[in-house]
Each structure stands twice: as structure tokens, then as C-alpha cells.
């Protein structure tokens, strides 16, 4: 039989003004299982808490019900008090008689009655309570950062600087990401590579960072603090330890005309290549699809010229297995290309390019050495039309959202063009100018006022080619939707930013949820922007939604702090409010039938399959098992389970059923 103490709080007059607290305490003392019942002015005060602690010892209580304010306010206070008096904290309950009773009702018999009903219900719950122990999980203090763009670089450096080991995985041959491709950055117009490359070098040289480029995450198992990750290190076709990065092979490779991914197909590269001169690591990779040797079996010029004999044609992919405590996803974004737009020629007009291509044209290290030359004939365009929101904010294209970065980079593009081609005309079609950010609006103003970029508010309905010109047909909505036609030499589409290729796959591997656009989903849009719903996996940069460099870097540092906090202790302590599959007496006797319909219900992928085997290794039963490291205690699986084989600690079937019965009991005893 339980021995429960009831403590009714006056909360000054907050409760006692409308509730007859003495009567509640007196009636409560008559409830079955209640051995002690008092009222007091301020239960949460030190003397009030002492009252509880002493009663626990004096009456040898097995449960405590404090009738006072909302548990959201003082539940931790009284749990702590119980613990100090030697009572398991999860044996205490709060009856909310302030927010849910005294404050919302007038003084009356019914109000006192309700307060008592609430107390009685919580006494019922308390008598069904069981002692719970906080869950402790060990933590492997090594982080994995996926993606080596500016966000991944920042996150890796920040974590590494807290003294923890970091593995940085990047799928392309060099880190740097999109930022390495940019010409200059808004709103300061400083050179993108100049500010990024020192960071890239720092990553390569940091003693706490292990860098795997040309590598991808193969699989992820486990849970917060205890991930088991397999990384596929794709064959570079060379011995990285021997290679000095002299680059002789890349100059001698007979294949020279392969469109370069880094140059957004505007430039070329050999088959053995580093994506760009400042690549980190500065070790080339052989593109086997385009290499003469892999295609014909002959050539091997690179092997011949290599002074350190580092080329390995027979190299194979290797799988590395690592134990990881926390993961930061920083896989960035892609942009749509001009072939996404049938109305703008579906990619058939060479001089209709996307923003990233323009970055390469404007970049001093780009295919045109920073001269703005159009791709079709290398002429310097005298008139460029920039189209903002190409694809973005367009439900018909399936992209309802604003890509956020395009307003700014379009202004930058127009400005760069005007700086480089003084007699050129730059026209921008826009829907709205969204320049929220430090010095952003001023930057756009500068483009309009100082650099005379023509801004036209309206959409472009179609582009077609006529006599070597691109006819851009649009509307000017500020002039009564008057139609506008511009004969342009080149068109730059500020195409929508989208989730990077393969992000859906990666999300599924990581068990991270993602939105309809395949961007990774944060745990809470306001308060948990860098967490995911999967414990121990965090987000940085544009993989969550398109964002600019300052935001990406800030987010990366935020994610790094979350990782550092996780690594700050050896054990992870969690509230024991988790679901459990019954397995008493012994798992083979569990009532779980292993239908696993609970699996898709769990938002945290916490439900695993457990196979019970006989001595010969044959599976005799499969049942669900809840991973307590992952379970967050929502209890949706509990309500779904038909055989009532799952229960939620702290909110068990017995407790909830008891509460329902108790709450409806007849009036005062």
C-alpha cells in the first residue's frame, strides 16, 4: 500500500482566495493511501520544501503530491526536494490547482471541489508511480562533419578548437564548396577565395581534424553519443602519401577538353585533375569516366611523368569504419540550371546562364580570367538581363519558397558587370527586393544609384533568340503591367537554390527528417534551428535551407557548440520518460508479436528489431525494442500497439487509466 503525502499550497492568496485549501487538505487526508495531508502558505519556499522533506522522512512516504501551481513551473523544484529527502524524484506529482483552477474560476464550492478532484487524480497517479532512474549513455568524443563547404569548414574548426577530434568528409576532391567558386562576396565585395583559402589550409593542418575528400558517408548506425559510421573513400587512383601535388600529371594529360564541374562547365580540365589551383588537399584525382587509359587500356602518361610514382590505376574504393559521438550535416545546396526553364529556352541558348556560372565568369581565376565574356562566342556582352526569382517563389515550378540569397547576389552581379564593362547596360527583373541584413539594403541601393543598374519590377514570361540577340519579354508591374522587351546579349538567371543532390538519400541514412523540398528539417523552427529530430545530429549551413555565407558560418558555430556541449561530459543523462516493450519474463515471452507497425509511427526511429535466437542460431521470435538513447517519450507507439506490449514510463497505461477513473469519482468522500 502506498504512503502518500499531500501538500496543499496557498500560494499566498493566489490559490486560497478562491479555493478552500484547508478543506482540500482535510478531504485529501481521507483518500486511500494518503497518510499525511497539510496546507501551507508557500510550498515552494524553503520552509515549504522543508515541510515536504521532513514529512517524507517522518511518515516514510512512498509518494508526494504537491497541490500548487503548474508542474511546468515547479515540478523540478519538488522533484529535487524529494531527491534530497531520499525519495526517488519521479514519485512526486503536482496537482495544478492554480493555473488550471484558482486563477480561472471564481470562489465557489465548485472551485474547491475541482481542486480536490485534481488532487485526488494526482494521488491516484502517485500511487501508480514507480521509481525511475535517469538514463545514462556513454559518449564517444569524436565528431563527424559531412560536407566541406564554408559551413562544414567552420563547424570542423570550431569543434577541433575545443579539443575534440573531428572527421570531415567531403564528396568532391577538394573542400571549399560553393564559396570557393564565388568571385566576390556581398556586401563588401571582398574576394571569396582570399578569405576562404586560409580556412581551408587550417583544416588540412589542424591536428584534431582528419580530412577525407572524394569520400562519402556509406551508412550510419547507432544513436546519440554512439554512432557507428562507414565512410566510402572513393579511389583517387593515386597514393596520397607519395603524391607531392606537383601537378605535372595534370599538365601532361592528353585529355584536356573535359567540361570542368568547378567552372560550371564553362571551362575545361584534364582527366587527372585538381578542381582548382588552391584545392585542399592539393592532390589530383583521376576521372575514370573520361580517362583514356580506363577507356582504351592505353596511355598511362601520368604514371610515366609522375616523379614520385604515385599513380595507382588499380586502386579500389576503401570503406573506413569509425565510432562517432555527434554528427554535423553541412551538405549545402545546389542551384537549378537554365535547362529547368522551358520558357527561357530550356538550356538551348548558350548565353542564358545561371548565377553560379556568372560567378565563374566574374572570377579572376575563372575561365575568362574575370572578363565578362559570353559563352557562345566569347564577345563582351553590352547588355545583360538579370532575372531574379528564376524558379523561386513559383508554385508552378514546385518551389514555393524564397531562395533568399539571389536578391543580393544579383545586385552584386550587376554591379560587378558594370565595374568591368563600363558602357554595358544591366537590367534586373525582380519580384521584390529582399535585402534584410547588415549593409544589404545599402548595397542594393548602391547598385541602383551609383552603378546605374536598371531595376524593373516584374516577371519575364519568355526568352527567345532572334538574329543573335536574346529577346527578353517581360512586364513592368510598376507601370501598369506594361509589356517590356529587351534585346540582350546575355541573360543571367538567379536560379532557385535547392537541396543538394543526394540529400534525400543521406537523410534516410542518417534517419534525419527532411521537408518536401528535401532540405533537412530542424527540430524546432525557432528554438532548435541547428538540432535535428535525431539526437546527436546537427545542421549547419544551406542544407537546412538556402542561406548566405554569414548565416551559414554562424549556424556552423552554433552546431559546433551543441557538439561541444554534448562532449562536455562522459555520460549523457536523459529523463527516463521513454517507451519500453514488455519483455518480462524474458524476451521470448514478450507479448510483442513483432508486427512493427509501431516503427513508421516513431518520429525518432527509436524502434529497432530484436531477434531472439535459439542455441542453434535460428530466429525464434522477432520483437520491437526501443532504443532509449533515441526515444523522446511521445508515446504514440504505446497508443498504437494492439497487444499493449509497449508502455511509456511516467505515463503508463495503468497510470493514465487510473487517472481517468479517479478524475470521475463522485464528489467529496
Partner 1 sequence: MKLGIYPGCSLTGSARDYNESVFAIAKACDIQLEQVPDWNCCGATAAHNMNKELSLSLPARILAQAEKAGLTDIVIPCAACYSRLMVTQHELNNDPVLKNRISEIIEMDFKGTTNILNVVQMIDLYVSPVLKEKIVKNFSHKVACYYGCLMVRPYKVLQYDQHEDPQGMDNVIRLLGGTAIDWGYKVECCGAGLTMSKTEIVGMLSGKIVKDAARRGAQAIVVACPMCHSNLDMRRPAINEYIGEKMDIPVIYITQAIGLALGIDEKTLGLQRHFVPVKMAEYIPPVPESKKQKAKEPTNTI
Partner 2 sequence: MEQFEPKLVAFVCNWCTYAGADLTGTSRIKYATNVRIIRFPCTGRIDFMLISKAFANGADGVIVSGCHPNDCHYTSGNFHARRRWMSFNAMLTFMGIDPDRIIFSWVSAAEGAKWADVVNQSVEQIRKLGPFTEYQKLVQSGIEEENFNG
Partner 3 sequence: MDNLRQKAKELLESKTVNLVIGYENGTNGKARAVFITDPEKTGKLIYDERCKQNLAVYLNKHEVKHYGKIAIVAPLMVMRSILVLVSECQVKKENIVALGIGEDGSLLDFPSLEVVEKYVAKIPLGNPQSDQEILDKLNAMTMEQRRAFWQNELERCFKCYACRAACPMCYCLRCTVECNQPQWISAPAHPLGNLEWHMLRTMHLTGRCVSCGDCGRACPLNIPIHLLTMQQAEEAFHMFGVRAGTSMKAESALSTYKPDDKENFIL
According to the binding rule CB under 8 A, does residue 524 interact with partner 3?
A: no
Cα 404 to Cα 396: distance, rounded to the nearest angstrom = 19
According to the binding rule CB under 8 A, does residue 246 interact with partner 1?
A: no
Judged by beta carbon distances under 5 to 8 A according to partner kind, the member of partner 1, partner 3, partner 2, none in contact with residue 471 is partner 1
Residues sharing a CB contact under 8 Å with residue 11, sequence separation 6 or more, in sequence order:
42, 43, 68, 69, 98, 102
Cα 149 to Cα 280: distance, rounded to the nearest angstrom = 12
- Measuring CA to CA, which residue among 68, 127, 133, 128 is closest to residue 95? 68
CA atoms within 13 A on the CB side of 140: 20
Stretch that binds partner 3, among 87-95, 464-472, 517-525, 636-644 (CB under 8 A): 636-644
Pairing type for strands 607-613 and 579-581 reads unpaired
Q: Choose between 268 and 599: whose C-beta lies nearer to partner 3.
A: 599
Q: 532 to 591, contacts with partner 3 by CB under 8 A? A: 591
Q: How many CB atoms lie within 10 A of CB 570?
A: 10
Q: Give the largest Cα separation in the chain, rounded.
A: 98
Q: Choose between 51 and 593: whose C-beta lies nearer to partner 3.
A: 593
Residue pointed to by grid coordinates 538567371: 493
- From the CB of 658, what's the least distance to partner 3, in Å? 7
The answer to whether 391 and 495 have CB atoms below 8 angstroms apart is: yes
The answer to whether 299 and 292 have CB atoms below 8 angstroms apart is: yes
Judged by beta carbon distances under 5 to 8 A according to partner kind, the member of partner 3, partner 1, partner 2, none in contact with residue 659 is partner 2
Which of 222, 370, 437, 594 touches partner 3 (CB under 8 A)? 594
Q: Choose between 35 and 132: whose C-beta lies nearer to partner 2.
A: 132
Stretch that binds partner 1, among 163-171, 200-208, 356-364, 463-471 (CB under 8 A): 463-471
Q: Choose between 113 and 250: whose C-beta lies nearer to partner 2.
A: 113
Q: Choose between 441 and 465: whose C-beta lies nearer to partner 1.
A: 465
Cα 497 to Cα 474: distance, rounded to the nearest angstrom = 23
Query: What are 479's three cell numbers?
Result: 507601370
Q: Choose between 292 and 599: whose C-beta lies nearer to partner 3.
A: 599
Judged by beta carbon distances under 5 to 8 A according to partner kind, the member of partner 2, partner 1, partner 3, none in contact with residue 654 is partner 3
Which of 84, 529, 640, 668 touches partner 2 (CB under 8 A)? 640
According to the binding rule CB under 8 A, does residue 663 interact with partner 3?
A: no
* 388-427 footprint of partner 1 as x/- string (CB under 8 A): --------x------------------------------x
According to the binding rule CB under 8 A, does residue 595 interact with partner 3?
A: yes
Q: How many CB atoms lie within 10 A of CB 231?
A: 21
Cα 202 to Cα 200: distance, rounded to the nearest angstrom = 5
According to the binding rule CB under 8 A, does residue 398 interact with partner 3?
A: no
Residues sharing a CB contact under 8 Å with residue 490, sequence separation 6 or more, in sequence order:
351, 352, 353, 374, 381, 383, 384, 385, 470
According to the binding rule CB under 8 A, does residue 593 interact with partner 2?
A: no
Query: What are 652's three cell numbers?
Result: 503508463
Query: What are 258's three cell numbers?
Result: 573535359
In the three-class reduction of DSSP (H, G, I as helix; E, B as strand; rest coil), residue 407 is classed as helix
The answer to whether 303 and 313 have CB atoms below 8 angstroms apart is: yes
Q: Choose between 83 and 593: whose C-beta lies nearer to partner 3.
A: 593
CA distance readout (Å), 469 to 349, 352, 534 = 10, 11, 52
Q: Choose between 380 and 595: whose C-beta lies nearer to partner 3.
A: 595
* 602-631 footprint of partner 3 as x/- string (CB under 8 A): --------------------x---------
Query: What are 173's three cell numbers?
Result: 576532391
Stretch that binds partner 1, among 37-45, 483-491, 532-540, 555-563 (CB under 8 A): 483-491
The answer to whether 116 and 37 have CB atoms below 8 angstroms apart is: no
According to the binding rule CB under 8 A, does residue 452 interact with partner 1?
A: no
Judged by beta carbon distances under 5 to 8 A according to partner kind, the member of partner 1, partner 3, partner 2, none in contact with residue 135 is none
Q: 317 to 356, contacts with partner 1 by CB under 8 A? A: 341-343, 346, 348
Give the DSSP letter string of 57-121: HHHT-SEEEEEES-HHHHHHHHHHHHHHTTS-GGGEEEEE-IIIIITTS-SSHHHHHHHHHHHHH
According to the binding rule CB under 8 A, does residue 521 interact with partner 3?
A: no
Angle at 626 between CA 625 and CA 627, to 5 degrees: 115
Stretch that binds partner 1, among 485-493, 588-596, 621-629, 646-654 (CB under 8 A): 485-493
Q: By the criterion CB under 8 A, which residues form the site for partner 2?
A: 70-73, 96, 98-101, 103-106, 108, 110-111, 113-114, 117-118, 121, 513, 521, 533, 577, 601, 603-604, 632-636, 638-640, 648, 650-651, 653, 656-657, 659-661, 663-664
Q: By the criterion CB under 8 A, which residues form the site for partner 3?
A: 591, 593-601, 622, 640, 642-645, 653-654, 657-658
Q: By the criterion CB under 8 A, which residues form the site for partner 1?
A: 341-343, 346, 348, 396, 427, 454, 462, 464-467, 471, 473, 476, 482-487
Amino acid at each position: 500500500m502506498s504512503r502518500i503525502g499531500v501538500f496543499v499550497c496557498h500560494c499566498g492568496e493566489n490559490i486560497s482566495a478562491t479555493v478552500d485549501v484547508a478543506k482540500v487538505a482535510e478531504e485529501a487526508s481521507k483518500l486511500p493511501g494518503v497518510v499525511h495531508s497539510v496546507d501551507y502558505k508557500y510550498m515552494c519556499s524553503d520552509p515549504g520544501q522543508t515541510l515536504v522533506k521532513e514529512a517524507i522522512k517522518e511518515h516514510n512516504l512512498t509518494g508526494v503530491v504537491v497541490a500548487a501551481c503548474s508542474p511546468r513551473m515547479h515540478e523540478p523544484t519538488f522533484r529535487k526536494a524529494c531527491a534530497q529527502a531520499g525519495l526517488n524524484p519521479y514519485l512526486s506529482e503536482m496537482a495544478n490547482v492554480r493555473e488550471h483552477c484558482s486563477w480561472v474560476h471564481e470562489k465557489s464550492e465548485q472551485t474547491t471541489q475541482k481542486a480536490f478532484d485534481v488532487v485526488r487524480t494526482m494521488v491516484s497517479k502517485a500511487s501508480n508511480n514507480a521509481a525511475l532512474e535517469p538514463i545514462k549513455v556513454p559518449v564517444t568524443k569524436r565528431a563527424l562533419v559531412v560536407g566541406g563547404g564554408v559551413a562544414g569548414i567552420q563547424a570542423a574548426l570550431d569543434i577541433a578548437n575545443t579539443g575534440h577530434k573531428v572527421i570531415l568528409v567531403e564528396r568532391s576532391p577538394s573542400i571549399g564548396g560553393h564559396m570557393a567558386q564565388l568571385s566576390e562576396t556581398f556586401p563588401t565585395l571582398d574576394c571569396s577565395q582570399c578569405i576562404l583559402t586560409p580556412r581551408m589550409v587550417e583544416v588540412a593542418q589542424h591536428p584534431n581534424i582528419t580530412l577525407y575528400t572524394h569520400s562519402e558517408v556509406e551508412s550510419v548506425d547507432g544513436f546519440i553519443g554512439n554512432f557507428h559510421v562507414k565512410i566510402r573513400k572513393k579511389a583517387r587512383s593515386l597514393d596520397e602519401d607519395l603524391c607531392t601535388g606537383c601537378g605535372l600529371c595534370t599538365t601532361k594529360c592528353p585529355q584536356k577538353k573535359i567540361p570542368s564541374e568547378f567552372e560550371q562547365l564553362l571551362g575545361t580540365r584534364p582527366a587527372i585533375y585538381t578542381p582548382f589551383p588552391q584545392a585542399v588537399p592539393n592532390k589530383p584525382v583521376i576521372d575514370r569516366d573520361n580517362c583514356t587509359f580506363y577507356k582504351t587500356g592505353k596511355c598511362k602518361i601520368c604514371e610515366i611523368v609522375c616523379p614520385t610514382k604515385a599513380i595507382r590505376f588499380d586502386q579500389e574504393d576503401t570503406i573506413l569504419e569509425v565510432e562517432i559521438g555527434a554528427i554535423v550535416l553541412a551538405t549545402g545546396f545546389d542551384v537549378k540550371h537554365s535547362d529547368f526553364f522551358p520558357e527561357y529556352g530550356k538550356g538551348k541558348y548558350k548565353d542564358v546562364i545561371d548565377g553560379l556560372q556568372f560567378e565563374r565568369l566574374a572570377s579572376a581565376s575563372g575561365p575568362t580570367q574575370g572578363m565578362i565574356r559570353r559563352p557562345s562566342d566569347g564577345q563582351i556582352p553590352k547588355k545583360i538581363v538579370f532575372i531574379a526569382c528564376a524558379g523561386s517563389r513559383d508554385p508552378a515550378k514546385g518551389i514555393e519558397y524564397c531562395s533568399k540569397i539571389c536578391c543580393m547576389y544579383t545586385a552584386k552581379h550587376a554591379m560587378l558587370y558594370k565595374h568591368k564593362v563600363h558602357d554595358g547596360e544591366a537590367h534586373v527583373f525582380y519580384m521584390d527586393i529582399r535585402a534584410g541584413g547588415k549593409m544589404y539594403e545599402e548595397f542594393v541601393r548602391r547598385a541602383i544609384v551609383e552603378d546605374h543598374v536598371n531595376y524593373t519590377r516584374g516577371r519575364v514570361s519568355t526568352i527567345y533568340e532572334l538574329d543573335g540577340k536574346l529577346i527578353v519579354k517581360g512586364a513592368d508591374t510598376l507601370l501598369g503591367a506594361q509589356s517590356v522587351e529587351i534585346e540582350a546579349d546575355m541573360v543571367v538567371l538567379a536560379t532557385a537554390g535547392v537541396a543538394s543532390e543526394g540529400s534525400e538519400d543521406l537523410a534516410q541514412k542518417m534517419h534525419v527528417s527532411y521537408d518536401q523540398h528535401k532540405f533537412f528539417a530542424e527540430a524546432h523552427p525557432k528554438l532548435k534551428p541547428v538540432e535535428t529530430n535525431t539526437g546527436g545530429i546537427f545542421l549547419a549551413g544551406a542544407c537546412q535551407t538556402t542561406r548566405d555565407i554569414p548565416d551559414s558560418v554562424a549556424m556552423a558555430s552554433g552546431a559546433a557548440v551543441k557538439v561541444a556541449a554534448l562532449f562536455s561530459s562522459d555520460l549523457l543523462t536523459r529523463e527516463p520518460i521513454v517507451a519500453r516493450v514488455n519483455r518480462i519474463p524474458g524476451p521470448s515471452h514478450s507479448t510483442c508479436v513483432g508486427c512493427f507497425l509501431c516503427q513508421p509511427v516513431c518520429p525518432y526511429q527509436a524502434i529497432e528489431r530484436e531477434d531472439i535466437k535459439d542455441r542453434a542460431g535460428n530466429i525464434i521470435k522477432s520483437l520491437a525494442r526501443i532504443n532509449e538513447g533515441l526515444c523522446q517519450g511521445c508515446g504514440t507507439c504505446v497508443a498504437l500497439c494492439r497487444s499493449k506490449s509497449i508502455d511509456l514510463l511516467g505515463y503508463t497505461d495503468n497510470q493514465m487509466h487510473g487517472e481517468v477513473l479517479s478524475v470521475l469519482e463522485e464528489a467529496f468522500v
